[in-house]
Amino acid sequence: MSENDFDLEETLDMLGRAPDVLSSLLRGSSAAWHTIHEGSGTWSAFDIVGHLVHAEETDWVPRARQILELGESQPFDPYDRNAQFERFADWTLSQLLQRFAEARRANLETVRAWKLEDEQLARTGKHPALGTVTLRQLLATWAVHDLGHYGQMTRVMAKRYTESVGPWRAYLSVLDR
């Protein structure tokens, strides 16, 4: 697979599924499932949803817009990967899931309205740590970022039953990651 395998419509479709994936997994679940974490400095499912909301509002579409409008003339603002801890401290999981769904829907409408072609997807911007990046790479990263956090979330949630699974632990490699 290469950058040429990128498919915008498939990417947007995958991104559009995220609110339902998170809602199905978390909405109405016990706090014991969405507040568990792996120790100091690690994230719970609640923290991950907060992170996704913050990224939805301050990262993906603002950076895409910056690539389209400014190119590499101005580097992206640094992204605060931990902003969710303070910003959403008083929110409920239900509020976070609702905000995520709203923000994601609006962002996908924005991106679709741009009617992006290959020329635009090849435009470049300047990441403060990574250097030159293309819009295509940013959009692919957005989708992979979601998928990575699904894996992180389910791994952390599985740890709730590390001891409860008894001898089956030998078959549950997720508990050793």
Between CA 112 and CA 117, with CA 115 as vertex, the angle to 5 degrees is: 130
Fold of 3-176: Four Helix Bundle (Hemerythrin (Met), subunit A) (1.20.120)
What separation in angstroms does the CA of 85 have from each of 5, 10, 41, 66? Answer: 36, 32, 11, 26
Region of residue 12 (left: phi > 0; alpha: psi -120 to 50; beta: else): alpha
pLDDT in tens, 37-58: 998 989 999 999 999 999 999 9
More confident residue, 103 or 41: 103
Report whether pLDDT(121) > 90: yes
pLDDT value at position 177? 83
pLDDT (average), residues 104-114: 98
DSSP string, 28-82: T--HHHHS--SSTT---HHHHHHHHHHHHHHTHHHHHHHHHHHTTSSPPPPP-TT
Average pLDDT for the chain: 94
Q: Which position has the token pair 């090849």?
A: 122
pLDDT value at position 3? 55
pLDDT (average), residues 117-135: 97
pLDDT value at position 85? 78
Region of residue 39 (left: phi > 0; alpha: psi -120 to 50; beta: else): left
pLDDT in tens, 64-98: 999 999 999 999 998 988 889 788 999 999 999 99
